[in-house]
Amino acid sequence: MSVQLPPQFVQRMQDLLGDEFQSFMDSYEQSPRAGLRVNTLKISNEQFKEKSPFELRSIPWCPTGYYVDAAARPGKHPYYYAGLYYIQEPSAMSPVEALDVQPGDRVLDLCAAPGGKSTQIAAALQGQGLLVTNDLSAERTRALAKNMELYGVRNAVILNESPDTIATRFGGFFDKILVDAPCSGEGMFRKDDDAARQWLNHSVERCSIMQRDILQTVATMLAPGGRIVYSTCTFAPEENERSIAVFLDRHPDFSVTLPAHAEHFRPGRSEWAHQVEQEIQQGDTVLSAIAAEGYTPLSEKSIAQTERTVRLWPHLLEGEGHYIAVLDHQAVRDPEYVPAEPPLIATSYKERPQRHMASRPDQRTDKKAERRADRIERRNLTESRGQSSKSSRTTSSSRTPVPEEIEPLQLWKEFSGQELNGEWNTQNMITFGQNLYRAPIDENRLQGLKVIRPGWYLGSCKNGRFTPGHALAAALMPAEARRRLNLSADSPEAISYLKGETLSVPAERIECDERVSPRGYVLVCIDGCSAGWGKWQQGDTLKNEYPAGWRWI
């Protein structure tokens, strides 16, 4: 393949790389590597390797990551639709490994869409702790929400907010923070032709200023002794080593730690940060905005620490260009440490009606339809609260629940008692219009924020009936459902189900718990892993409940 690279970029890389430049350029004649990462929320790494329909080759820096042949089309297999793996560029798996997420951690993924790194974090949490995943783009949060639901994540909150606004509600809160920063995208030129075409629009200068401000903000959200991982997919030292050196000068209580699997990567280039400093001091016009903001020379100590950051080069490994810096806070946390509670404010997130966007999260939205849906949802939300839109403008903590708001919890009790196994109490439940969620966090934290999902979406309540959501099915283990139907990934039935077609299924094929009839909601599984709902009816008919916007095309 051949990529049209911006001439300015080529000249800069030649100046930086010297003898390595030709090897670097030769890498653009090679095809990008395809990879997938096993979703251990649904299947173990060993189990997947046993049943994988693809030839797998391990990615050295990610224990659950594998190279696959792109011609195998892993996005066109029933396992993909069942959420057994995430298709991900191999280098992009490295930042989360560097974050070292442990079950029970409170984690923020600040720039998360479309959700690859968030699903990787969620798998590491194993359903314990909390993941707050955010993206500033409302359009991109649609894909983020879909992926979190498809991969069976139960303990995540999805936001569409600026870092500054999130910081007002989560000061000193998170154990781990991932900043996969907006950048000029140079490392993706081989993979994405549009990234090369748009390079001048995403200037190195503008991105470096944005990154500096983001890092300044996220430091206020980190708990004592926590960790920030900063990553980019660019080669520019202004956005990499220099951004980290600026942060370290402003935050002497942080230090750089060599990331996991660093032996597979090259170290950061502190001499390039020095070179950038010289260019600024000489009045280089490309960096004029940095110099104009009250420039202060960087310390030698901070620049030297960038040698413990790492770079992933496309001519030295099987992946695209990446940069990773692990920033550890040096305080020792008191075992009794509890993040401060945010103040109560006058605006609740519930006063900003959000549509449940799982139906077509990956498609562009027709603006007229979007506005019409907004009006309908506001009316439904007002009616469900049994009060006028004017009187609903109170905080969620001060408003007295009305019967319509209590009813969804009762409907959930009835549904879970009849259709599910295990303990399904109503603790941490949030009603959001007609939708019901299980929240992994105190609702007070979300006040004033643009919330796309306040937790695990369970379903909707309407006309005295609870309708389970696809996100509920996707996150269930088969044993948690009282009725199950297992389809083989190799069978035409699995494809038919994923296309939304009605299936003819004899009653004896529905695996039921004792004293449960086949009639009712059935958890449809593909090779033992949950894929979605069906509803078995008399006449051997399985009504398909797989969402229209998610279907096999």
| E-assigned strand segments in 147-249 | 156-159, 174-180, 222-232
> Do strands 130-134 and 156-159 pair parallel, antiparallel, or not at all (unpaired)?
parallel
Cα 38–chain centre separation = 15
Give the C-alpha separation, 125 to 145, whole Å: 18
Distance between first and last Cα of the chain: 28
Give the C-alpha separation, 491 to 498, whole Å: 12
Known catalytic membership, residue 233: yes
Q: Which candidate in 233, 461, 512, 525 is catalytic?
A: 233
Sign of the alpha-carbon dihedral angle for 448, 450, 453, 459 = positive
Give the C-alpha separation, 324 to 229, whole Å: 7
Q: What angle, 0 to 180 degrees and rounded to 10, lies between the N-to-C axes of helices 241-250 and 204-218?
A: 40
Q: How far is CA 419 from CA 20, 311, 398, 422, 423, in A?
A: 62, 50, 34, 10, 12
> Do strands 266-267 and 310-312 pair parallel, antiparallel, or not at all (unpaired)?
antiparallel
Q: How far is CA 288 from CA 13, 186, 205, in A?
A: 21, 21, 8
CB atoms within 10 A of CB 10: 14
Structural contact between residues 259 and 98, judged by C-beta atoms closer than 8 angstroms: yes
Give the C-alpha separation, 86 to 145, whole Å: 14
Paired tokens of 435? 């939708």
Total length of the chain: 553
Nearest Cα neighbor of 81 from 39, 125, 137 is: 39
| E-assigned strand segments in 155-291 | 156-159, 174-180, 222-232, 254-257, 266-267
Q: Which run of H or E residues covers position 49? A: helix 45-51
Give the C-alpha separation, 9 to 240, whole Å: 16
Cβ contacts of residue 514 below 8 Å, gap of 6+? none
Q: What is the 3-state secondary structure (H, E, C) of 298-316?
A: CCHHHHHHHHHCEEECCCC
Q: Which residues are catalytic?
A: 233
